């Protein structure tokens, strides 16, 4: 492996699931100096009530009571059916919009009601908006989106209806960016990989602690199944270092999952503590910061 080479991230790092804000604004960052974190109450509009369909609002509410300087919570524009169909099968998009056929509309595992359509268009719109903001401002951006990476082109899975990571990556590609997707959820991002694997200029780095939705990636994409928490950070560090030997990226899309936390009953691994997750995030952001252009504003 060649050492010492630095990628130049000509834009910023997009953290899906990021959680920071200063105030709520509408559709556009109100000042260039703030980092936008996209969120709308529509993210959690669906009637089906469990953590995936509610946690964005929980995080937003908690942060509204304790603002973090330098970032703003921004309302995104919802995606249209035509935008969704750039990645997803039109028949599937129509099913989620109308609820018919019901088995397809509910293939994600979320019970369908008319508000699901608005919820998933808004949440996925936030993922895309974060990429566009990063490309426009050459700074980091984020979204409180969830339920993304298991969805494939023609169906949902694992409480993921549409694949906001793939939609965001396409938005980047359409603007000439070479894209790195870092997926650090407990489970595999097989839905994302099934969509982006044939897209030139898109690479997926996936670390999992569960076999759900795993896949066999082709180089340069990678997937590592971690069974011992002691291996998690060293493997991540090695994978990030290995990227130094390849072509540069213009954009990083980071799916910052926390369901691998040892206290989570749907993917937790003993030994993955809050401190491990904090160090993981620090590693990703520091790697991105070290591989960015000199004029990037932080």
Mean pLDDT of 150-176: 97
Residue 63 lies in domain:
13-290
User: pLDDT exceeding 90 applies to what percent of the chain?
Assistant: 77
Mean pLDDT of 31-48: 89
Residue 254 pairs in a beta bridge with: 15, 182
10 and 250 in contact (C-beta within 8 Å)?
Answer: yes
Residue 2 lies in a domain: no
Write the burial class of residue 99 (CB in 10 Å: 0-12 exposed, 13-18 middle, 19+ buried). Answer: middle
CA 23/CA 38 separation, integer angstroms? 11
Has this prediction a pTM greater than 0.75?
Answer: yes
Per-residue pLDDT tens over the stretch 232-249 = 999 999 999 999 888 899
Residue 91 pairs in a beta bridge with: none
What pLDDT is recorded for position 72? 85
What pLDDT is recorded for position 28? 47
Mean pLDDT of 34-60: 94
Q: Which of 60, 49, 163 is nearest to 115 (CA)?
A: 49
41 or 25, higher pLDDT:
41
Q: Could you please report the per-residue DSSP string of 40-61?
A: -GGGG-SS--SHHHHHHHHHHH
Q: Could you please report the per-residue DSSP string of 2-21?
A: --S----BSS-EEEET----
Cβ within 8 Å of residue 179, ≥6 positions away = 169, 172, 173, 201, 202, 203, 249, 250, 251, 252, 253
Residue 50 lies in a domain: yes
Residue 297 lies in a domain: no
Does residue 44 carry a pLDDT above 90?
A: yes
Residue 24 pairs in a beta bridge with: 73
Q: Which residue has the tokens 């009601």?
A: 113
CA R_g for the chain: 18
What pLDDT is recorded for position 21? 31
What is the bridge-based pairing of β-strands 13-16 and 251-255? Answer: parallel
Q: How many other C-beta atoms lie within 10 A of the C-beta of residue 29?
A: 18
Residue 211 lies in a domain: yes
Count of structural domains within the chain: 1
133 and 142 in contact (C-beta within 8 Å)?
Answer: no
Residue 5 lies in a domain: no
Per-residue pLDDT tens over the stretch 75-108 = 999 999 999 999 999 999 999 999 999 999 999 9
What is the bridge-based pairing of β-strands 71-75 and 141-143? Answer: unpaired
Structure tokens at 108: 């994600």
| Order of strands, sheet of 35-38, starting from the edge strand that comes earlier in the sequence | 24-26, 71-75, 35-38, 141-143, 13-16, 251-255, 179-183, 202-208, 222-225
**What is the torsional sign of CA 62, 67, 68, 74?**
positive
Q: What is residue 103's three-state secondary structure?
A: helix
Write the burial class of residue 216 (CB in 10 Å: 0-12 exposed, 13-18 middle, 19+ buried). Answer: exposed
240 or 137, higher pLDDT:
240
Mean pLDDT of 289-293: 68
Cα 56 to the chain's mean position, in Å? Answer: 13
Q: pLDDT-derived band of residue 269, with 50, 70 and 90 as boundaries? A: very high
292 or 18, higher pLDDT:
292
Does residue 40 carry a pLDDT above 50?
A: yes
Residue 3 lies in a domain: no
Per-residue pLDDT tens over the stretch 179-205 = 999 999 999 999 999 999 999 999 999
22 and 70 in contact (C-beta within 8 Å)?
Answer: yes
Residue 295 lies in a domain: no
What pLDDT is recorded for position 69? 86
251: CATH? 3.40.800.20
193 and 206 in contact (C-beta within 8 Å)?
Answer: yes
User: pLDDT exceeding 70 applies to what percent of the chain?
Assistant: 87
Mean pLDDT of 49-68: 90
């Amino acid at each position: 492996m060649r050492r010492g080479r630095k990628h130049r991230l000509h834009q910023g790092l997009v953290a899906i699931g990021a959680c920071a804000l200063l105030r709520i604004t509408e559709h556009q960052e109100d000042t260039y100096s703030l980092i936008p974190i996209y969120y709308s109450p529509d993210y959690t509009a669906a009637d089906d009530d469990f953590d995936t369909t509610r946690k964005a609002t929980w995080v937003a509410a908690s942060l509204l009571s304790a603002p973090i300087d330098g970032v703003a919570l921004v309302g995104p524009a919802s995606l249209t059916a035509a935008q969704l169909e750039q990645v997803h099968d039109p028949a599937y998009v129509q099913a989620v919009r109308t609820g018919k056929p019901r088995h397809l509309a509910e293939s994600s595992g979320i019970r369908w009601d008319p508000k699901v359509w608005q919820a998933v268009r808004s949440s996925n719109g936030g993922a895309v908006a974060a990429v566009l903001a990063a490309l426009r401002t050459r700074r980091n951006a984020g979204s409180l989106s969830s339920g993304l990476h298991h969805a494939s082109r023609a169906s949902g899975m694992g409480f993921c209806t549409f694949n906001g990571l793939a939609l965001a990556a396409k938005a980047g590609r359409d603007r000439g960016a070479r894209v790195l997707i870092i997926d650090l959820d407990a489970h595999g991002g097989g839905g994302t990989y099934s969509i982006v694997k044939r897209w030139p200029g898109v690479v997926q780095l996936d670390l999992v602690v569960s076999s759900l939705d795993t896949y066999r990636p082709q180089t340069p994409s990678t997937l590592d199944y971690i069974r011992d928490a002691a291996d998690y950070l060293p493997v991540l560090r090695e994978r990030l270092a290995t990227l130094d030997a390849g072509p540069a990226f213009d954009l990083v899309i980071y799916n910052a999952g926390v369901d691998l936390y040892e206290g989570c009953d749907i993917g937790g691994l003993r030994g993955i503590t809050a401190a491990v997750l904090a160090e993981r995030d620090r590693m990703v952001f520091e790697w991105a910061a070290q591989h960015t252009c000199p004029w990037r504003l932080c």
